[in-house]
A and B are shown apart, each in its own frame.
Chain A
């Protein structure tokens, strides 16, 4: 293809984006756009799958049958989200198993929040309320993402995420209104998950290397700091409503803008966890790798059986 026609394709592509016309799998797209999406979508898929582990950790210990069922349903949803997202990445030519291998070798990242341990039942509340709450802030704008399959996957996912956020908040509010031990458990969970939840939005805008291009492509609609601020403004009053304290002694309310201004975030901790040095990074990846290894004979059996059947049918 000659230079001229590539330029033409590029400008036609950007024109579509500017006019909010969705890009579909068979449409021409610049390679950078494709690679950016593959990176982001598979990272998102990995987060859903690794994210099953901290909550899966409490299913067998859930305090009553209703909570057990809700938690099972939630973790099952996350597996479903992983599935839609791997499929969306496949529309861009990313093979699911290869993508998963990248996770296992550490080449691909996932949300750093899942590298923190779930130590008490209250963590099921904190995760639903804060982590799914932050995920909603990130994902609602993605429903308008320029890439059609990703945008459509996000519409389905967001509906379920709001159920996840509500069940988490309900756990927290039950605990916060419960016995002194329960209230202490809830506050402790908030203390541990608050800052990692703020870090979920990624580095400050000035440090974020992908933001500008992603916004021009309408993969991203808001900057990290904008989304973080939205999350804080929604969450701080919720904490107050159930009588829990946000663990930020520097937090201030700005009367003019109506925003809660947070204190300094420990970015050193964030980068350490991203690099693989969080409390659970190794455990999470080991567990996922082991699941894949232990499942190899099962997948081989399914393939062998499917082949035999196809052969018998054609014979």
Chain B
């Protein structure tokens, strides 16, 4: 399997699975404006997933397109981060999850604009505009919740405590990451981590939230070792393609 294919899948699956999770909110948001915003972000993520997975299919060269990659792989072949597949929980879990991800995605896309791979560079450039808005939106909510009421502060802090264990996976430099970085295709994850930390520190400070001391860490998504949640996401996501194979929609 080519490294570029595998790397592009990672990016595409992050967008696909987080977009899926956010779209579960549609019609259930805490306020109408937020229903619109979350649907809009989900739409951006599905759009990114489409570009990335179509490109992954091209790179692979086995006549698989974005749809066959999105809908017809088996569980262990999905390479998204554990963070993005975590259940929506309450609005605090959803927005903290979004914030932790956006704060990583923005510096990633910023640097990926200079990728030696011109296709990834152009997808990054287009996605960066959206991601800037996503980060602004999720940061503002983290601050509002953290510095809002006693209840919202408690819920936001609980969300941070719940999700923190999934954040170190964002910055694991495995063989694939270092190979891609060496080739000038992917940015250096250590630099992204620095940026991420700065954003998280600044926003948490304003939100009066604290980083949990517990350093318990989870990883595995990048190698297809997921949480139990992914199977249920795929059950819904793949339902039509599995029940009615080889049809046009």
Contact = CB atoms under 8 A, between A and B. Distances in A.
A binds B: yes
Interface of A: 49, 52-53, 56, 59-69, 72-73, 75-76, 79-80, 82-83, 86, 121, 171, 174-175, 178-179, 181-182, 287, 290-291, 294-302, 304-305, 308
Given A52-B27, A53-B27, A83-B33, 7 more contacts: A59-B23, A64-B70, A75-B27, A171-B249, A297-B152, A298-B30, A301-B145
B32 interface: yes
A301 B152 contact: yes
A60 B16 CA distance: 11
B144 A301 contact: yes
Contacts, number: 135
Interface of B: 20, 23-24, 26-36, 39-40, 42-43, 46-47, 49-50, 53, 66-67, 70-71, 90-91, 143-145, 147-149, 151-152, 155, 236-237, 239-241, 244, 247-249
B40 A304 contact: no
22 contacts: A49-B27, A56-B27, A61-B239, A63-B249, A64-B70, A72-B23, A72-B39, A72-B42, A75-B26, A76-B39, A76-B43, A181-B244, A181-B247, A295-B30, A295-B34, A298-B91, A298-B145, A298-B152, A300-B151, A301-B144, A301-B149, A301-B151
Contacts of A86: 32
A179 B50 CA distance: 25
A49 B91 CA distance: 19
Given A63-B241, A65-B66, A72 B26 contact: yes
B23 to A, nearest CB: 5
Q: What is the interface of chain B mostly: helix, strand, loop, or mixed? A: helix
B58 to A, nearest CB: 15
A56 B34 CA distance: 15
B47 A297 contact: no
B23 A69 contact: no
B135 to A, nearest CB: 18
B200 to A, nearest CB: 19
B130 to A, nearest CB: 13
Given A67-B249, A182-B244, A82 B20 contact: no
B236 A61 contact: yes
A301 B143 CA distance: 10
A69 B47 contact: yes
Nearest to A80: B36
A134 B82 CA distance: 44
B151 A72 contact: no
B35 A297 contact: no
B105 to A, nearest CB: 19
B39 A69 contact: no
Contacts of B29: 291, 295
A82 B20 CA distance: 23
Contacts of A68: 23, 46
Given A182-B244, A301-B148, A72 B46 contact: yes
A287 B155 contact: no
Contacts of A49: 27, 32
Contacts of A175: 249
B83 to A, nearest CB: 19
